[in-house]
Structure 1
Amino acid sequence: MFAIACSQQQYKTYTLTDKAADSLIEIVPERGGIVARWSIQGQEILYLDAERFANPQLSVRGGIPILFPICGNLPDNTYTHNGQQYALKQHGFARDLPWKVTNEDTQNQAAVTLVLESNETTRTVYPFDFQLAFTYQLQGNQLAIRQRITNHSAVAMPFSVGLHPYFLVRDKTQLHFAIPATEYQDQRTKTQHAFTGNFDFEQDEIDAAFRPLSAANASVCDRDRNLQLHLSWDDTYYSTFVFWTQKGKDFYCVEPWTAPRNALNTGDDLISLEPGESLNAWVNMTVTFL
Structure 2
Amino acid sequence: MTVIDIGKGDLSARISTAGGLVLGLWWKPSDIPIPLLRPAPGVEADALASGCYPLVPFGNRVRGNAFRFAGRDYRFQPNTAWDPHYLHGEGWQADWSVVESGTNSVELFFVHLAGEGTPYRYAATQRFAIEDGAFVLTLSVTNRGETALPFGLGWHPYFPMTPQTTLLAPARKYWTEVDGWLPGEAVEIPEDVDFRAPRGLPHRWVNNGFEGWSGQARIDWPERGTRLTLSADPLFRHAFVFVSDTGFDPAFQRDYFCFEPMSHLADGHNQAGLGDLAVLQPGEALAGSIRMMPARLP
- TM-score normalised to the size of structure 2? 0.80
Correspondence for 1:217: 216
Over 3 Å counting, the alpha-carbon distance change for 1:200 and 1:23 in structure 2 is: closer
Given candidates 60, 72, 76, the residue that maps to 2:48 is 60
Question: How many Å separate the matches in 1 of 2:262 and 2:2?
Answer: 28
Given candidates 151, 166, 169, the residue that maps to 1:176 is 166
Correspondence for 1:116: 110
**AA partner of residue 167 (structure 1):** F
User: The residue matched to 1:87 in structure 2 has which SS?
Assistant: coil
Correspondence for 1:275: 282
Please state how far the C-alpha of 1:54 moved relative to its aligned partner.
Answer: 4.0
Over 3 Å counting, the alpha-carbon distance change for 1:217 and 1:117 in structure 2 is: same
Question: How many Å separate the matches in 2 of 1:71 and 1:166?
Answer: 15
Q: Percent identity?
A: 20
Q: Is the 8 A contact 2:153 2:264 kept in 1?
A: yes
1:253 and 2:251 equivalent?
A: no
Question: How many Å separate the matches in 2 of 1:151 and 1:92?
Answer: 14
Q: Which moved more, 1:255-264 or 1:124-133?
A: 124-133
The within-5 A match list for 1:113-192 is: 113-120=107-114, 123-139=115-131, 141-171=133-163, 174-188=164-178, 190=184, 192=187
User: The residue matched to 2:276 in structure 1 has which SS?
Assistant: coil
Gaps of 5+ in 2: 79-85, 246-252
**AA partner of residue 212 (structure 1):** G
Question: How many Å separate the matches in 2 of 1:276 and 1:99?
Answer: 20
Q: Is the 8 A contact 2:63 2:270 kept in 1?
A: no
Please state how far the C-alpha of 1:49 moved relative to its aligned partner.
Answer: 5.2
Please state how far the C-alpha of 1:263 moved relative to its aligned partner.
Answer: 1.3
Please state how far the C-alpha of 1:140 moved relative to its aligned partner.
Answer: 5.4
Question: How many Å separate the matches in 1 of 2:123 and 2:74?
Answer: 23
**AA partner of residue 239 (structure 1):** R
Question: How many Å separate the matches in 2 of 1:70 and 1:208?
Answer: 16
Gaps of 5+ in 1: 1-10
**AA partner of residue 292 (structure 2):** M
Matched length: 264
Correspondence for 1:241: 239
Q: Which moved more, 1:193-202 or 1:154-163?
A: 193-202
Correspondence for 2:34: 43
- TM-score normalised to the size of structure 1? 0.82
Please state how far the C-alpha of 1:185 moved relative to its aligned partner.
Answer: 2.3
Q: Is the 8 A contact 2:268 2:277 kept in 1?
A: yes
1:265 and 2:270 equivalent?
A: yes
Please state how far the C-alpha of 1:286 moved relative to its aligned partner.
Answer: 1.1
Please state how far the C-alpha of 1:240 moved relative to its aligned partner.
Answer: 0.7
